[in-house]
Amino acid sequence: MLNIQICYSLDVSAPLLRTQGYVDGRWVSAASVFPVLDPATGQEIARVADCGAAEAKQAVDAAYKAFQSWKRSTAKERSILLRKWFDLMTLHREDLAKLITFECGKPMKESLGEITYSASFLEWFSEEARRVYGDIVPSPLRDRKIFLLKQPVGVASIITPWNFPSAMITRKVGAALAAGCTVVVKPAEDTPLSALALAELAEQAGIPAGVFNVVPCSREETPAVGQVLCTDPLVAKISFTGSTATGKVLLKMAADTVKKVSMELGGHAPFIVFDSADVDRAVSGAMASKFRNSGQTCVCSNRFLVQSGIYDRFVEKLGRAMDAELRMGHGSDPQTTQGPLINQRAADKVEQQVSDAVSRGASVLRGGKRLHGSFMEPTLLVDVSTDMLCTKEETFGPLVPVIRSVPGDALT
């Protein structure tokens, strides 16, 4: 049962709760604002500057200007600044985690884990900044020497998802800044507050103006902002984590100016259990791989293929584990292990997959119901076949479809 009766409010230190864009070392407003909602309650927690193409262009110009000096900074200088940024993230760990919980819906324990994970990228790249080595290659000619030098590519557009609103930024930005690049970050519209808090700490750490820019925007403004970040000739590199469909659009836009592109797109990971498996360990692995962040990670198992000899025992024990270990609620409640899905659209998708599976002959052993707002019960489906949507599309939710593999299948 889901029962959210307590009134939860976001309580973080004022400097970390930023609602303007961050361009060229300044906090900038836009012509309008958009709401950021707590996905657990649907309540508005902030109104953020709704940046558009003009602000995105300003950010790119600022990053390009800053690149001319940042690329000439020494590896040691960049290392020291990244380390200061890491230290500040560690100091403000609790408040940064609260931001994630309230805008993303994660249980606080997972949010704290993400901040540790997020900060570790800055720590790692602060050290790797000093190790951007070149090389000397033996020449086939007596009067020639061949030197290999590594140089920063320039301005990088960083487009990040909502499911890891802090770590997906530092993982990309830490590497870029360590190499001598400058960046423009476009965070997901559902989770801009974490990105803006990172900008505040970057400023406190002494990252120079224009090196790190954040352009938050609504879903409506995203195409215009994305167009600038992917087509502007001053942008040399694009790094994107998100859906495959969006990745294809960005690749097409980047093609005209032949930009360097890194994409981490959608997944459809199988979880395979053979007859010889230790059932308890398999169930433990399934729980860990499926229900982190309520099933909203790119490495969550999406389809469960279980050999017939072990199928019934696996399903029974998995159902018991779900009953014993999963508790839905607001992420601020220390007892919560399963928060809401990020928004109504996400819950609609899971609900549709469950409905489709049942209409095609699947049975619901656990859960299956849409609850308040974007909460979806952790759901266990059996008698699943490969013609169902849940075996063809990435779910991104707490749904476990278990397919029985019989002799003659590719699994056996």
Arithmetic mean of pLDDT, 157-183: 98
**In the chain, count of helices (H) and strands (E)?**
11, 16
97 and 150 fall within a common domain: yes
Distance CA 17, CA 95 (A): 9
Residue 232 lies in a domain: yes
Strands 155-159 and 235-241: parallel
Are 346 and 366 contacting, i.e. CB atoms less than 8 angstroms apart? no
238 and 278 fall within a common domain: no
Q: pLDDT band for position 271 (50/70/90)?
A: very high
SS3 for 153-211, per residue? CCEEEEECCCCCCCHHHHHHHHHHHHHCCEEEEECCCCCHHHHHHHHHHHHHHCCCCCC
Lowest mean pLDDT among 1-5, 72-76, 85-89, 125-129: 1-5
168 and 291 fall within a common domain: no
Which one is catalytic: 77, 127, 128, 264? 264
Which stretch of DSSP H or E encloses residue 222?
helix 222-231
**9 vs 152, residue with greater confidence:** 152
Distance CA 310, CA 273 (A): 8
Which residues are bridge partners to 379 per DSSP? 399
Three-state SS for 250?
A: helix
**Which of 264, 291, 310 marks a domain boundary?**
264
Strands 146-148 and 155-159: unpaired
Arithmetic mean of pLDDT, 45-73: 98
Return the pLDDT at 410.
Answer: 59
pTM, to two decimals: 0.94
**Which of 206, 235, 264 marks a domain boundary?**
264
35 and 77 fall within a common domain: yes
Return the pLDDT at 412.
Answer: 43
Residue in the block written with tokens 């159902």: 319
**Which of 264, 284, 304 marks a domain boundary?**
264
Q: Is 7 a catalytic residue?
A: no
Q: pLDDT band for position 1 (50/70/90)?
A: low
Overall domain count for the chain: 2
What is the CA 373 to chain-centroid distance, rounded? Answer: 22
Percentage of residues in the chain with pLDDT exceeding 70? 97
Arithmetic mean of pLDDT, 329-356: 97
Residue 306 lies in a domain: yes
Which one is catalytic: 217, 298, 300, 390? 298
Distance CA 288, CA 282 (A): 10
**208 vs 408, residue with greater confidence:** 208
Return the pLDDT at 285.
Answer: 97
147 and 239 fall within a common domain: yes
111 and 198 fall within a common domain: yes
Lowest mean pLDDT among 48-52, 131-135, 210-214, 231-235: 131-135
Q: Is 298 a catalytic residue?
A: yes
Over the stretch 218-269, which tens digit does the pLDDT of each residue have? 999 999 999 999 999 999 999 999 999 999 999 999 999 999 999 999 889 9
Return the pLDDT at 8.
Answer: 83
Smallest CA-to-CA distance from 242 within 298, 290, 295 is with 298
291 and 235 fall within a common domain: no
Domain residues for the domain of 71 are 21-264
Indicate which CATH number applies to the domain containing 113. 3.40.605.10
Over the stretch 15-24, which tens digit does the pLDDT of each residue have? 999 999 999 9
Percentage of residues in the chain with pLDDT exceeding 90? 93
Which residues are bridge partners to 263 per DSSP? 240
180 and 62 fall within a common domain: yes
253 and 305 fall within a common domain: no
Over the stretch 305-327, which tens digit does the pLDDT of each residue have? 999 999 999 999 999 999 999 99
Return the pLDDT at 41.
Answer: 95
Residue 13 lies in a domain: no
Arithmetic mean of pLDDT, 161-186: 98
Return the pLDDT at 94.
Answer: 97
Arithmetic mean of pLDDT, 376-399: 96
Return the pLDDT at 14.
Answer: 87
105 and 218 fall within a common domain: yes
Over the stretch 362-385, which tens digit does the pLDDT of each residue have? 999 999 999 999 999 999 999 999
Return the pLDDT at 406.
Answer: 78
pLDDT higher than threshold 70 for residue 54: yes
Are 395 and 295 contacting, i.e. CB atoms less than 8 angstroms apart? yes
The most distant pair of C-alpha atoms in the chain lies apart, rounded to whole Å, by 80
pLDDT higher than threshold 50 for residue 270: yes
